[in-house]
Structure 1
């Protein structure tokens, strides 16, 4: 995304979890300016820590410490090689990836082409149930790895050339494949990750072995913390700190209190209730930066009461985005009326048209004519600071549609995702998305294609899938964008989700750190941060 994806906190990206407030300045924080000291960064309880199974931002933040991507992105959102020496293709269909020499896993294994092939085949094989399996769909042979009894266990499109070179053959040309390789699912796995070919070793996820700038320090302490320490043999840019304690919080306000008292070094999302005072509380330690996040309310389109686009459109028109953005978020976010973020090429303003216009009278008439339900439930994760805006949205729906509306907080984002995967009834539900890689397609394919990895709403439109596929096969980025825009126009008609807000990073840090940067993907840049 590099890992972006599903986001838990209100400013988006996954957030926060078990409150460790008043736990002192432990975690090996060390003295001021001590390069061997660890820094403490808030996250939520990750859902997973296996690269091909991690599709939320807290897990991806941890993995960004443990792994080095094939490519990363420059300030213009263009890919540049990191662990890869080169990524080339003459036809956008057959790609050759050469690895930089000198990389080793944290257990001493040399990184080779086999480590990428093993990891990608594991992620693509359907019986393994990996959340990010979707990202290998473009590789030749993917279809043979699907179903209850797959025809094959390895992707025919992956071929080893030598220890540091392999080729990837796609089923169709894809102009953005190099850009895509920055995503978490494309990290390698060591031989030690497997107990047998294609079988993940029991316990690997509790102490993942990567080839990045940090290595695990002990095991993942669920609902408490994940600790990593600098890996001295890393051949790339070395971090300026000795380690990171990813501290898990359940309540954003507890994390904020810890930052104020210097018991936590970075909070990636200032709680909404603290936005109005953050500049005073933190001074120049309150910072903002562009983000790729998008906040939506999603419909279970497979449920009869929400199956009509007219019902969905009426609910959208009954919500005053501008008022909530101003009153709840203190203008720290922007109202959204499109399905992709302004940070990517191809963005157009207000693609949902009249569905994004606040019109209570028209909304109520449309809702009643379409037979909308008398009661609406809005489900959200309680560990993400969403209660205030959910309550405000419910109040608007009560007043403008004449319905009963209740908010339902699931304890953790992972809990909500589990219920959604099981298609349990949760009513409307809040979702956040942080891009995986900078492409318009990344806002459309994973979320809305029939087999999208994060399509929790049951939305399916064959014409949408067709346009998305045509865009992926386009010879140039400009041609691809035209197809993606046409696909977005179909979303505007069907409205499986209601775009609400674009986020920006509103973050803060303690007096003990400096050079804190949060990127477009809601990740703290672990190579820039240092002790103050």
Structure 2
């Protein structure tokens, strides 16, 4: 998170690890139980003075390693809310039939997804190689196959709904063109061996989308592309943090604040906390710094230049803009959704 105006107690500064296990907050809920990789329990904060008060006494967040199991539990009424629908349920809109009228929501999301190229790996040093791989991905075909056409092919590094949105700023480098991709790959020195694309298997659809992307690259670029599976996001992130990735890997971001800067700074500024691919461009860093003191018109022009730079450098290639799929049991009310397309947990409640 990159949150502002979030006060922290003295205990946070004394011992980060201990605070992480037993945090002190000032919101409508308070943490009362944390069982690692099992569940988190929040209870209503009776001392909360804000307007958006909790409508339930307790929330229990169950952790799953298999998204399909979470979905099945909601359909069966064992769990009340889910925001991860497996691909086999998305296909043919089966999930909407399974849940029934009044128990699901499909809406735009601020989630952006793509694939990162590790800049520290010699295979990806030449930007033409990265551009070639990007041009070999048929985003529309992947989106249609995996999400029933509900997601939108990504052609920018910041999604719709976060203004100013600049559609298709990536240009031809985010549209499939097999011949142009092969030519670029040759100009960049080619690609030897197998191209791997890593994904975490504990996220809905990650396996299916990576397989579809590899199929597209195999067909359009003529190189061997193979999905590389990690059981959990944490395990994949450990490898990414250690700079031990030897191939591409799935990336994603959801807005921390309602500005393209939330996306354009986190992944791409030199040495930024989430810039795991080792991308560095002094000109890009300069634009990211100068934009903070610009007016809206100047900012929009700078956002455009920043994304045009990313199109040339291609440290991360866009894949799609996400869609929010929510399902709930017949025991609870429909939740409201925040501007950043997450459940507003102060609005969840039992039916009367």
Q: Same fold (TM over 0.5)?
A: yes
Post-superposition CA distance 1:278-314 (Å, at most 9, x none): 1111123121122111110110012110011111111
Q: Give the gaps of 5 or more residues in structure 2.
A: none
How far apart are 1:469 and its partner, in Å? 1.1
> CA 1:516 to 1:338, structure 2 compared with 1: closer, same or farther past 3 Å?
same
Offset at residue 229 of structure 1 (A) = 0.6
* Equivalence for 1:456: 276
1:520 deviation in Å? 4.1
Q: Secondary structure at the match of 2:265?
A: helix
What does residue 39 of structure 1 align with? none
What residue number does 2:291 align with?
A: 471
Instruction: Give the superposition deviation at 1:487.
Output: 1.4
Aligned to 1:130: none
Match of 1:501 in 2: 320
Asked if 1 retains the 8 angstrom alpha-carbon contact of 2:103 and 2:334, the reply is no
TM superposition shift of 1:500:
0.8
1:265 is aligned to 80
- Residues 139, 175 of structure 2: 8 Å contact kept: no
Answering whether residue 256 of structure 2 is matched by residue 442 of structure 1, we say no
- 2:22 paired residue number: 207
Q: Deviations over 1:356-408 (max 9, x none)?
A: 12111221232233222331000011111200111111112222222222111
Q: Hey, what's the Cα distance between the residues in 2 that align with 1:343 and 1:325?
A: 19
- Partner of 1:205, secondary structure, is helix
Report the counterpart of residue 298 of structure 1 in structure 2: 116
Match of residue 382 from structure 1: 201
1:216 to partner: Cα distance: 1.5
CA RMSD of aligned residues (A): 1.6
Cα distance in 1 between the residues matched to 2:239 and 2:160: 31
Other-structure match for 1:337: 155
Deviations 1:328-358 (A, max 9, x none): 1101110011111111222111111111121
Q: Quick check: 1:398–1:404 contact (8 Å CA) kept in 2? A: yes
Note the C-alpha offset of 1:485: 1.7
Contact 1:290 1:519 in 2 (8 A): no
Alignment of 1:39-188 (within 5 A): 55=1, 183=3, 186-188=5-7
In structure 1, C-alpha distance between the alignment counterparts of 2:65 and 2:340, rounded to whole Å: 21
Q: Contact between 1:268 and 1:518, CA under 8 Å: does it hold in 2? A: no
- CA shift digits 1:185-242 (9 cap, x unpaired): 6422223x25xxx421653221211111111223x10110000110111111321111
Provide TM-score, normalisation by structure 1: 0.63
Choose 1 or 2 for highest CA Rg.
1
> Given the superposition, is the C-alpha separation of residues 306 and 214 from structure 1 closer, same or farther in structure 2, using an over 3 Å criterion?
same
Q: For 1:522 and 1:411, how far apart are their aligned partners in 2?
A: 26
> In 2, Cα distance between the equivalents of 1:490 and 1:481?
14
Report the Cα offset of residue 484 of structure 1.
2.1
- Say if 2:42 and 2:59, in contact at 8 Å, map to a contact too: yes
Match of 1:33 in 2: none
Q: Which residue of structure 1 lines up, in the alignment, with residue 145 of structure 2?
A: 327
Among candidates 213, 221, 227, match of residue 35 of structure 2: 221
Indicate if the aligned counterparts of 2:84 and 2:326 stay in contact, CA closer than 8 A: yes
Distance (Å, rounded) in 2 between the aligned partners of 1:490 and 1:513: 47
**Which has the larger share of helix?**
2
Query: Residue 289 of structure 1 contacts residue 519 of structure 1 at CA under 8 Å; is this kept in 2?
Result: no
Alignment size in residue pairs: 345
Counterpart contact for 1:382–1:413, Cα < 8 Å: yes
Instruction: Tell me the SS of whatever aligns to 2:273.
Output: coil
1:231 aligns with 2:45: yes
Q: Does 1:486 align with 2:305?
A: yes
Partner residue of 1:369?
A: 187
Tell me the SS of whatever aligns to 1:350: coil
Residue 241 of structure 2 corresponds to residue 421 of structure 1? yes
CA contact (8 A) 1:440 1:481 kept: no
Q: Is the 8 A contact 1:289 1:518 kept in 2?
A: no
TM-score, length of structure 2 as denominator length: 0.94
